[in-house]
Copies of this chain bind each other. A is one copy, B any other.
Amino acid sequence: MALVKLIEYKDASPQVRAVYDDIMKTRGVDWINNFWKVLANDPAELARIWNNVKQVMAPGALDPLVKEMVYVAVSATNACEYCTYSHTAGARKKGMTDAMFMELMAVVGLANETNRIANGLRPEVDPQFK
């Protein structure tokens, strides 16, 4: 159970509804997921996060599917259950296949492994990398 109440569309203020409407329109869906419903307890915070997501996840130097897979990679590294489910769904919608997902998790696993081996054995950063 969430630690704050879920703000449903029908109970939302016009300010919150405007963000909900923009989320649904931007994503082409007809429902709002729970992450936004808890954020809506602070309408300014809801707007802040949504505007960040729209700006950062828009097509740019990287394509949106790559960005969504990076999001999944970070979420799995951080043990965020909600984010892993929601961004895996998002990545699949953008075209991630099971084969891509399995391979993504292999890279995430390996990076987490060698990160800790480096943090434990403490080799100095080679001057060539600087």
Asked if residues B44 and A107 are in contact (CB atoms below 8 Å), the reply is no
User: Is A11 interfacial (CB-CB < 8 Å)?
Assistant: no
Asked if residues A83 and B42 are in contact (CB atoms below 8 Å), the reply is no
Copy total for this chain = 6
User: Is A120 interfacial (CB-CB < 8 Å)?
Assistant: yes
Shortest Cβ distance from residue A53 to the other chain B in the assembled complex, whole angstroms: 7
Question: What are 9 inter-chain pairs, A to B, with CB distance below 8 A?
Answer: A4-B102, A6-B123, A33-B123, A45-B102, A48-B55, A76-B116, A82-B123, A82-B125, A105-B120
* Interface of A toward B, CB cutoff 8 Å: 1-4, 6, 31, 33-35, 37-39, 41-42, 44-45, 48-49, 52-53, 55-57, 60-62, 66-67, 69-89, 97-126, 128-130
